[in-house]
Amino acid sequence: MKTSSIGEVLMKSDENPIDLEAFHITTPQEEMEVDPTSKLTENFTTWSVTEKTDILEVARWHSCKQENYLRGCLFSPDGTCLLTAVNQDGIQVFEVPVDLYDKQNVTDTRPVTKLKPAVHVKEGQGTTVYDMAWYPGMNSNISESCMFLISRQHEPIKCIDAFDGSLRCSYRGYDAVDEVEAALSLCYSIDGSQIYAGYKKTIKIFDTNRPGRDYEVLENKSPSSVVAVNVDNSLLAAGSWNTNISVFDIRSKDVAPKIILQGEHRGGITHLKFLSDTSLISGARKNSKLVFWDLRNPSTPFFVFNRNVETNQRIYFDVTPEGKWLMSGCTDGNLKIWNLFEIYADNQSPVKEFSYKLHDDCCNGVAIHPFLPILATSSGQHLNNIPDNDSENECSVENFVTMWWMK
């Protein structure tokens, strides 16, 4: 049977089931086989942070409208694009400047690139972007793989084409009275074959190959404000507004959480990230703690980092590809960095913290490039009674997307 491209299949009506034998999504491993000599992967960088580390701005986008503050940013798996959410202005995709692909170093003589959205998915009237996620096998050389998910208020999960912003398909979750329910959070499985979506009382598991309303259900009594899957796709963590984290073994048929992590956060959980099969980091709103959990001993945290978080915003954190450096934004505009390897050392010395003032307003988004020493940050927050100004030099608000070269 002829294999259809993902673009052909996903444009079918999602009311009808898709012939799985005729549908194939390229996996991340296959992507590497397709493009083994990419300039980006050839220049893979092992991150190093010291007192002498320079952070140089290389690209920027801004909005001077006070309501258009950023709500996070995510690099694509192939490192060519940056996905951002802008309050009251939808989703925007920016391209990483191509001159940085094969750079070994950048100096302050290089002009800052003014970013322009390559794709702009405008926000519907009265809708808010809840969450977004890249397809894990995304490779810009294969158009069928270039897509991302978004979840918005009052809408089903939508799969968006990363080249032109068009709708490829939707995944619809329903509540107890059979009405479409918006997902509060979402993520792909590691291989991209499934979508895990957090709702107010359930977690729904969609097959990526089958758009529509077919899904499995995990019961979760609390709203799932954030979800994350571990690196071997065996555990699913779901944070909630009630400050607890539920961990499910998704290999089993048991719909109940395997582990409940609780007692460390005062606010609702806003971000989760697995570092390995059993290592998980959690952050919460209006709470300074970044908690490192070892799920083999979940009764107490393995380590706690401190950052500045004074708002209800989701303040992102990220970890470098080799798992060494943890980086987090802060409400005061600082970027904080810690060496995760130090927490395993058998000594009583405190873990060294590096701090860089990158923004004059809240640094809510932090994304680490998968291959290059590039850090992306997003900034801004809800402000009252600030006049708009379209001139960057006279901006009264700092709603920025910024890319930084760190060496």
Q: Give 126 or 101, the one with higher predicted confidence.
A: 101
Percent of the chain at pLDDT > 90 equals 75
Residues 119-144 have a mean pLDDT of 92
pLDDT band, residue 396 (cuts 50/70/90): confident
**Paired sense of beta strands 55-63 and 113-114, if any:** parallel
Least confident of 13-17, 142-146, 209-213, 252-256: 13-17
Predicted pLDDT of residue 364: 97
Give the confidence band of 248 by pLDDT, cuts at 50, 70, 90. very high
pTM: 0.88
Q: Give residue-wise pLDDT tens across range 31-57.
A: 444 453 356 666 667 788 998 899 999
Domain boundaries, the chain: 56-384+397-406
Give me the CATH code for the 56-384+397-406 domain, please: 2.130.10.10
CA 388-389-395 angle, 5° bins: 105
Report whether 364 contacts 378 (CB < 8 A): yes
Query: For the chain, what percent of residues have pLDDT higher than 70?
Result: 85
Exposure class string for 194-226: b at 16+ Cβ within 10 A, else e: bbbbbbbebbbbbbbbbbbbebeebebebbbbb
pLDDT in tens, 348-380: 678 999 999 999 999 999 999 999 999 999 999
Confidence of residue 180 (pLDDT cuts 50, 70, 90): very high
Single-letter residue type at 183: A
